[in-house]
Structure 1
Amino acid sequence: MGRIAVWLFAAVLGLVGITLTVGGGMLAADGGSLYYVATGLAVLVSAFGLLRGWRLAAGVFGAMLAGTIVWSLWEVGLDSWALMPRLVGPAVVGLLFLLPGTHRAAGAAPRWWVGVPSLAGLLLVAGAVVKAETAESGLPGAAKVAALPGAPQDWQNWGGRVEGTRYAAIDQIGTGNVKALKLAWRYDSDIASGPLPSLEAAPLAVNGRLYMCIESGTVAALDQDTGKRLWQYRGLTKDSKYYGWKCRGVAYYAAKTARTECTHSLYMTTADGQLIAIDADTGRPCSGFASNGIADLRIGMGLTSPDDALPTSPPTVVNGVIVVGQSISDYGSFDSPSGVIRGYDAETGALRWAWDAGRPGQTQLKPGETYTRDTPNAWGVFSGDEKLGLVYVGTGNSPPDYYSAFRSKVADQFTDNVVAIDVATGQLRWSFRTVNHDLWDYDIAAQPVAIDLADKAALLVPTKRGEIFVLDRATGQPIDPVVQKRVPQGGVKGEWNAPTQPYTTGFPSVSGADLTEADMWGLTPIDQMMCRIQYRRANYKGQFTPITTEPTITYPAVGGGINWGSVAVDTQRGLLVVNALHFANINRLVPRKEGETITGGFEGGVITFPQTGTPYGFKNFPFLSAIGVPCQKPPFGTISVFDIKTRKLVWSKPLGTAEGSGPLGIASHIPLRLGAPNFGGSLTTAGGLVFIAAGQDRRLRAFDIANGKALWSAQLPAVGAAMPISYVSPKGRQFVVIAAGGHFAIPGPKAAAIMAYALPK
């Protein structure tokens, strides 16, 4: 290294030292770690010493490295991802002191002064990485289970069955042969992604066909064995504002009476406020359903703006009744459309009933009435129990989500509830509230799951909070006791907070522990320090921290926890599979000046909610460093398996690698277990497997459900923000199918692909 290069090296060191010293001083003044001040001063001494030819320059830097190793182990132990930003950068810089030019400039100080701590730091990180990458549960693999007599070999509902278990009682593909799984066919839709790409649909596999919702208003029928398109129905034209809008799936129904058309029917909702019935055999509208195959979901909704009500999830059919909800814009005002739940006759399309939270006991509107405005909506997928005659609906909160002073008593009562509705009458049987007075958008996005325990008919209720409540599905009473715990108080003028929140005593939470300063992350000590400053200056007191006009950390954030992908149940082995997102947001209420209009939208990673008619708008930021790296340490996504009988954790591991993520939005292509951000769900099979995509690294994976061992993976063309399904085709072949389209909240390429995998013939 020549003299000029040494000066440049010293100048860079000096700049780093100044940054760490000044930033470290700011952090210390806010009550944070003193490490960065001390390190910054040490780096400054080393830089100055290099220019002066002091042997002390190398010694001081080496001592700083040794101290950094001790401090890092004290703060985070052998956590590989937490050690990387603390040790790798400083250790690499330390190795530069060993170059001939730098060595001479440092007065030919003994090389071991810097070399030993530098190599020790790198070896420590390498060892931690190897340990993390090779870690396995040590549990035995999945044991074979006896075949269920007469078990369905198709996939007739979004969650497999109306109960929503996402279990395929099929074992052609098992732990012993899944490595041989190959791409059997791929279907690429000719419909381009919309403005917010989210091909989130789980297809249905019925009567030799695969029914796939490509976009709002469009469904295609594919041959199960070849992927060849048999027909396509398109309900929205290119002139529609919602052309290309997302759709999570369709519902299926086989008629109970002889019919000339629509013996087998498909139902889907559209962003135009329609419920459409299609003949599953021909792809033509069911002319005898409602008005030429379309029921108008805007009837009774009152005044709406175009984006107020946008159904995105498939209906749920229980005992011949199509149950429909809708998504009401979170952006909006306190005067929003109703979150009414409606039940339609599956054969005629006639409205059988409407459950309106604001009109208890009344199931049909009287002339001139509209459904109660601003009641909690239900945008996720519902489940049902046909013996009990109940449909289980997860509700959200009353818009706007983040300010409640104008929220009605009834809206607050039914916010974030599971409500059980009698599908024959539309009457409410019971309800259970998962959040008291929600101010964080913790709506129930996940499909409730009906399972049978040893002595109870149970309902699992997964939540964005990461809590999984277990209820008696006939009565709504908790099977696992629920306790009320005190939570932080505060907030803004005109607002109030619930003093306690409900927590289950059964399944452990999958939300992760409350964040601490030591959890702050980055790629280098500098951006990690900046994240620590953000953390210290933010309003954060743990879960349920009230959002104020100051930057407020919300964790779990709006994405969860557990989102609409829900959970999967291996009903034969008694195991529950849960994938969770671990990603904090920075939220802030924005005071509105008198007469000011706040424009809502999504720009540069920031979501703005107008909250019209309230004193505050709202802004939502991802909690990132200056170079676009998350401020909290990995994993950002996990997959866990629990024993349903004991509620105990069997195994848990990061879901996804760093391949598809990196600073400034550039993919790193590093296949280390980062635990990637994920949206979507999982599938369990009788073969002892868990299939899941969901993650930013764009892979479909198969795990041994008993021990978590990764057995197989395949690269997808885009993020598979959807749920895999499995079925046996007419030719007797088991397929695993996943939609891969990308997701607006996860960086990566777009696609509109349906990928089908099977064992070689």
Structure 2
Amino acid sequence: MSRPRALADLVSILLGSVVALMGLALFAGGAYLAWLGGSWYFVVLGAAMLVSGILVAQRRREGALLYGAAFVLTGAWAVWEVGFAFWPLVSRLFALAVLACVVALFAPLLDRSGSVAWRRASLDVAAAVALALVATTLRAFQPVPIIAATEVAAVHPATQAGPQVDWAAWGNTNAGTRFAGLTQIDAANVAQLQPAWTFRTGDIAVSNGFGAEDQTTPLQIGDTVYVCTPNDIVIALDADTGAQRWRHDPKASAPQWQRCRGLGYHDAGAAEGGKVCPRRLLLATIDARLIALDAATGQPCTDFGAGGTVDLKTDMGEVKSGFYTQTAAPLIAGDLVVVGGRVADNIETGEPGGVVRAYDVASGELRWAWDPGNPATTRLPPPGETYTRGTPNVWTSMAYDSALGLIYAPTGNATPDFFGGHRTAQDDATNSSLFALDAATGRPRWHVQLVHKDLWDFDVPAQPALYDLPDGNGGTVPGLIAATKHGQIFLLNRATGAPIAPITERPVPQGNVPGEHYAPTQPYSDMPSIGTETLTEADMWGATPFDQLLCRIQFKTMRHEGTFTPPGFDTALQMPGSLGGMNWGSTAIDMTRDYLIVNDMRLGLWNRLIPREQVETGKAAGTEMGLSSMRGTPYVSLRNRFVSALNVPCQKPPFGTLTAIDLKARRIAWQVPLGTVEDTGPLGIKMHLPIPIGMPSLGGSLVTGSGLIFFAGTQDYYLRAFDAATGREVWKGRLPVGSQGAPMTYRSPKTGRQYIVITAGGARQSPDRGDYVVAYALPADSGSK
């Protein structure tokens, strides 16, 4: 046998073996999928590839023809199943197209007659497929809106925002709009943004497996920027240089959930000039303390509580280490500092309660308490008792309307999250709701429940945004916007709680877990929802047909009946999952266009309840994924993210978006994928490819008066600016590591420069961690004032 012929035989055998083995895998997996009631197409494709591979190995050109026919039919099937949606087609066709190109390239070896026409046709096909692959690759790098802007809202003055002097609250103001009417940085010059200063806090959020994260939004008061770190160290920085002015370490510690999302600030004014510290920062710590610090020196305000500290564990009963923490910034409502608290989800019943308390901002004296489990408690619990244990809690940020005298408190769930048979009628009445509390007394004036009998960890996670809207009669109505984990947005009258956008009760699936109670209906808002589509098998995705097939198999083994699929003894798929949808990063408002800006994540969660006697004692303890003990109930919970074997979400992209909703028209103005796979990828391996597929996001956005949206909470390491009119990305700046913080902005009273400040401590799920505070500005010699 001649060497060329022997080489051709060897290449044909190798190529045929690859095609046949791929076909065998698809056939076997496809047969299982079909047995589960799924698509038969993978059986057909796998069989065709198996026969094709055998023929190719035998150096028969019928093998190439059969593979080509199977590929063409796969293209037709793919278009039939998903239309011309780009990423779903890539999942079904790209890897097979690469193999088609290789088969066509080597097809001349399969013709023993040496036909010139066969050779030319084979190479032409290889070239055509290669060009299609190049075109697809180039398209993959192009940012394409999911919903393109078709109309651009007229710009008007931001009448609901006063002059931007200080960023004095977590959401800029207590209205939580994250809008700052600064215009020095605009679409024409944003490309010139560059780091002006960088500060290292020295406190890196290194997780022990239970969620240490840097998620802060700094404050700016005058010429000073204030930041807090995951372990509650508070640092004051020069607003123009980033130089440290003072540092206070409260020596806070907790075994889990180390984070500080923000600080409160109170200025008593000249009338209180004789006080120990008339300008004070309020810090709520991870070990449940409320601390007042002198904003000028960082020293404790000794007239507050006991030497500057109020113990928030007082009257809470037993508080195990890590079971009651503070993660939201304290709310400053007039002369009150108001706090809720986070409890450890899914460990046991009867954990510390969800009481909301208001303290005198000067003295630390308790002024009132709202106990969701006992409306009769208005300040201290009855003698010998504690605040009601195990009640829904207010773990996220609150908002405040001083004119109405109302504090808006979003509630979570009575833990554990996924079984509610032990909950009281009062628990069911107060969970996953929005309460308007009288700021003077703490008594609820109204409340609206956004999830009934919550079994999904669908807490109301976002700070309510307070924004007035036209009433249709030439006036305005005081609006409140609540974004939820289950992807809905509720628009309410903040004075009365009445819906501005209609809310309807719709029937939802019912479960059959013994001892459980189910709500027959759930409230649905007439506002646009984000990422709430009920999944089908055709929505499954993967980088290749193989992991897509595995996701299809996984999906067909689950029960999925839409957003409110109840947990059970089988595997129930919840979409969106317990991270959202929308989360604590909250929303922002472009006040010049009346646009609501929302970032979301699209991560499903599968869940299964297991009778307690079937689980070995001590195996279930976690609060995040895996087995959770849920002590005090008959069950433990097993749950995890709905991801492929490559740790990629199983449903089609995008996995996260940035959306603008026109609040007047109540429609989506535009929606774009948010983030790339540059710093992540399958199995967590960085792809180093800026493909804008849209990744899960966490954190909040910032809108400026010049029509720019800034956001950094993506899986890649960038602070980005978007055109608020269209969602087009107009600039991005590389960060040392990822961020989960929200950007803020200010104009220096000394130099007149506008800064955009972001903390970068590490993106969610990323191993890269840091302790950076980065301020961006236009070049100092740009002439901008």
TM-score bracket for the superposition, by shorter chain length:
over 0.9
CA contact (8 A) 1:242 1:271 kept: no
| Residues 173/601 of structure 1: CA separation in 2 closer, same or farther (3 Å cut) | farther
Q: Does 1:252 align with 2:265?
A: yes
Q: CA deviation at 1:387?
A: 1.0
Q: Secondary structure at the match of 1:98?
A: helix
Measured against aligned partners, the alpha-carbon deviations of 1:336-392 in whole angstroms (never above 9, x if no partner) come to: 110100000011100001100122143122321200111101111111101111111
Alignment-mate amino acid for residue 477 of structure 1: A
Q: Secondary structure at the match of 2:245?
A: strand
User: Which of 690, 699, 705 pairs up with 2:718?
Assistant: 699
Q: CA deviation at 1:106?
A: 8.0
User: What is the total number of aligned residue pairs between the two structures?
Assistant: 756
Q: Does 1:631 align with 2:628?
A: no
Q: CA deviation at 1:10?
A: 2.0
Q: CA deviation at 1:126?
A: 5.4
Q: Secondary structure at the match of 2:342?
A: coil
| Residues 244/16 of structure 1: CA separation in 2 closer, same or farther (3 Å cut) | closer
Alignment-mate amino acid for residue 93 of structure 1: L
Tell me the residue number matched to 2:593: 573
User: Which of 1, 14, 18 pairs up with 1:8?
Assistant: 14
Indicate the larger mover: 101-110 or 376-385. 101-110
| Residues 636/175 of structure 1: CA separation in 2 closer, same or farther (3 Å cut) | same
TM-score between both structures, scaled by the size of structure 1: 0.95
Q: Secondary structure at the match of 2:343?
A: coil
CA contact (8 A) 1:511 1:560 kept: no
Tell me the residue number matched to 2:30: 24
CA contact (8 A) 2:212 2:230 kept: no
CA contact (8 A) 1:94 1:115 kept: no
Alignment-mate amino acid for residue 64 of structure 1: A
| Residues 544/315 of structure 1: CA separation in 2 closer, same or farther (3 Å cut) | same
Tell me the residue number matched to 2:537: 517
Measured against aligned partners, the alpha-carbon deviations of 1:300-334 in whole angstroms (never above 9, x if no partner) come to: 11122212111111110111111101101102212
| Residues 571/99 of structure 1: CA separation in 2 closer, same or farther (3 Å cut) | closer
CA contact (8 A) 1:75 1:518 kept: yes
Q: CA deviation at 1:11?
A: 2.0
Name the Cα RMSD after superposition: 2.2
Q: Distance in 2 between matches of 1:663 and 1:246?
A: 28
Tell me the residue number matched to 1:192: 204
CA contact (8 A) 1:21 1:36 kept: yes
User: Which of 31, 46, 51 pairs up with 2:52?
Assistant: 46
Q: Does 1:610 align with 2:629?
A: yes
Q: Does 1:443 align with 2:459?
A: yes
CA contact (8 A) 1:62 1:117 kept: no
Alignment-mate amino acid for residue 363 of structure 1: T
CA contact (8 A) 1:554 1:586 kept: yes
Q: CA deviation at 1:628?
A: 2.0
CA contact (8 A) 2:212 2:256 kept: no
Q: Secondary structure at the match of 1:215?
A: coil
1:131-210 matches, within 5 Å, as 133=142, 135=144, 137=148, 146=157, 151-195=163-207, 196-210=211-225
| Residues 464/134 of structure 1: CA separation in 2 closer, same or farther (3 Å cut) | closer
User: Which of 576, 581, 598 pairs up with 1:556?
Assistant: 576
Q: CA deviation at 1:128?
A: 5.8
Tell me the residue number matched to 1:528: 548
Q: CA deviation at 1:7?
A: 2.0
Tell me the residue number matched to 1:508: 528
Q: CA deviation at 1:142?
A: 8.3
Tell me the residue number matched to 2:419: 403
| Residues 156/537 of structure 1: CA separation in 2 closer, same or farther (3 Å cut) | same
Q: Distance in 1 between matches of 2:106 and 2:383?
A: 90
Q: CA deviation at 1:511?
A: 2.2
CA contact (8 A) 1:91 1:118 kept: no
| Residues 347/9 of structure 1: CA separation in 2 closer, same or farther (3 Å cut) | same
| Residues 530/107 of structure 1: CA separation in 2 closer, same or farther (3 Å cut) | farther
Q: Secondary structure at the match of 2:324?
A: coil
Q: CA deviation at 1:55?
A: 2.1
User: Which of 602, 607, 619 pairs up with 2:638?
Assistant: 619
Tell me the residue number matched to 1:482: 503
Tell me the residue number matched to 2:783: none
Q: Does 1:225 align with 2:245?
A: no
CA contact (8 A) 1:550 1:589 kept: yes
Q: Distance in 2 between matches of 1:39 and 1:394?
A: 51
CA contact (8 A) 1:331 1:600 kept: no
Alignment-mate amino acid for residue 384 of structure 2: G
Q: CA deviation at 1:8?
A: 2.5
Question: Which structure 1 segments of 5+ residues have no match?
Answer: none
CA contact (8 A) 2:104 2:126 kept: no
Q: Distance in 2 between matches of 1:416 and 1:598?
A: 30
1:376-391 matches, within 5 Å, as 376-391=392-407
CA contact (8 A) 1:216 1:242 kept: no
Alignment-mate amino acid for residue 434 of structure 1: L
Q: CA deviation at 1:670?
A: 1.4
CA contact (8 A) 1:6 1:105 kept: no
CA contact (8 A) 1:628 1:664 kept: yes
CA contact (8 A) 1:80 1:129 kept: no
Q: Distance in 2 between matches of 1:456 and 1:60?
A: 66
Q: Distance in 2 between matches of 1:380 and 1:679?
A: 14
Q: CA deviation at 1:498?
A: 1.2
CA contact (8 A) 1:737 1:757 kept: yes
Q: Distance in 2 between matches of 1:421 and 1:108?
A: 86
Tell me the residue number matched to 2:484: 463
Alignment-mate amino acid for residue 88 of structure 1: F
Tell me the residue number matched to 2:3: none
Q: CA deviation at 1:755?
A: 1.0
Tell me the residue number matched to 2:659: 640
Q: Secondary structure at the match of 1:453?
A: strand
Q: Does 1:412 align with 2:428?
A: yes
Indicate the larger mover: 520-529 or 357-366. 357-366
Alignment-mate amino acid for residue 187 of structure 1: F
Q: Distance in 2 between matches of 1:571 and 1:280?
A: 30
Q: Secondary structure at the match of 2:325?
A: coil
Q: CA deviation at 1:101?
A: 7.6
CA contact (8 A) 2:101 2:130 kept: no
Indicate the larger mover: 491-500 or 453-462. 491-500
Question: Which structure 2 segments of 5+ residues have no match?
Answer: 1-6, 471-475, 781-785
Q: Distance in 2 between matches of 1:205 and 1:130?
A: 43
Q: Secondary structure at the match of 1:26?
A: helix
| Residues 497/105 of structure 1: CA separation in 2 closer, same or farther (3 Å cut) | farther
TM-score between both structures, scaled by the size of structure 2: 0.92
Tell me the residue number matched to 1:264: 279
Measured against aligned partners, the alpha-carbon deviations of 1:90-146 in whole angstroms (never above 9, x if no partner) come to: 111122223458733787683577667766666556556656725464658787655
Identity percentage of aligned residues: 40
Alignment-mate amino acid for residue 628 of structure 1: N
Q: CA deviation at 1:3?
A: 3.1
Q: Distance in 2 between matches of 1:33 and 1:243?
A: 44
Indicate the larger mover: 346-355 or 79-88. 79-88
Q: Distance in 1 between matches of 2:94 and 2:501?
A: 46
CA contact (8 A) 2:370 2:378 kept: yes
Indicate the larger mover: 100-109 or 414-423. 100-109
Q: Distance in 2 between matches of 1:282 and 1:555?
A: 48
